[in-house]
Amino acid sequence: MSLYLIGIGLWDPTDITIKGLEAVKRCEHVYLESYTSKLGCTIEDLEALYGKKIIIADRDTVENADRILDDARSSDTALLIIGDIFSATTHIDIALRAWEIGIKVHCIHNTSILIAIGEIGIDLYKFGRTVSIPFHNKNVSSPAEMIRKNLSMNLHSLVLLDLSPKDEKYMTSSDAAAYLLANGFDREQRVIACAGIGSSGQEICYSSLRKISERYLSKIPQCLIIPANLHFMEEKALSRFADMD
């Protein structure tokens, strides 16, 4: 019996791959990891396309993993993961545990926020270390330091923002901009705020930290990009999203 780790993309039921959907249909148990990101559709929307009952797996169910692994021992079992499988760092543990007890693991990949931001038109090869800002960040300086380090080497930074779907709590790009201003970044530093990337209604705004800190984007999840020096082609691509006021 096998454990299928399946990335389901960023937004709606049709973001799954054909390969992923075929695997889901073969599985007896289908879990959805529900705490590291948020889709733009409901569980019922997924169930309607997949033709399967979905079990919501909270942080405890995934990190403990006993229930999922027990199921995978006796029948094909899927763990659906928003985005791609290993874009959140918590999933390698379940793959290793399955491997250690002899359960075969199949990975079916999908897009991730780490690459879907390529759509704004800046070079994915020139990103440095990915940065995360936690909700409780009053005395947390390491995200700001990592971004400075990336900038010092002329590398762009993708800044992922904390979220807690079970509490309907999502950090916004303006919260993140406010964090950076509080940590010594220049008010005129140009940044790109992104919301709902991967959806048809995605919002992208290229402006100063000061303006982004005051601007409300509605879609979630959101992220912020701090660009290093831009190639003229990147600058041209970003001009599509420039704040005009």
Binding site for its own copies (CB under 8 A): 7, 9-10, 12-19, 21-22, 49, 84-87, 89, 92-93, 95-96, 99, 106-107, 109-112, 114-116, 118-119, 121, 123-130, 132, 149, 153, 155, 198, 200, 233-234, 236-237, 240
Rounded-to-integer distance, Cα 162 and Cα 134, Å: 5
Cβ proximity to its own copies, 124 vs 182, nearer residue: 124
Rounded-to-integer distance, Cα 58 and Cα 67, Å: 12
Residue identified by tokens 């889901």 is 24
Cβ proximity to its own copies, 128 vs 227, nearer residue: 128
**Tokens read off for 188:** 């005129």
Residue 184 falls in which region: left (phi positive, over 0), alpha (psi -120 to 50) or beta:
left
Least distance to its own copies from the beta carbon of 131, Å?
A: 8
User: Of 42, 58, 107, which is closest to residue 78 (Cα–Cα)?
Assistant: 107
Least distance to its own copies from the beta carbon of 98, Å?
A: 11
Cβ proximity to its own copies, 19 vs 210, nearer residue: 19
Rounded-to-integer distance, Cα 2 and Cα 163, Å: 30
Cβ proximity to its own copies, 18 vs 244, nearer residue: 18
Least distance to its own copies from the beta carbon of 161, Å?
A: 14
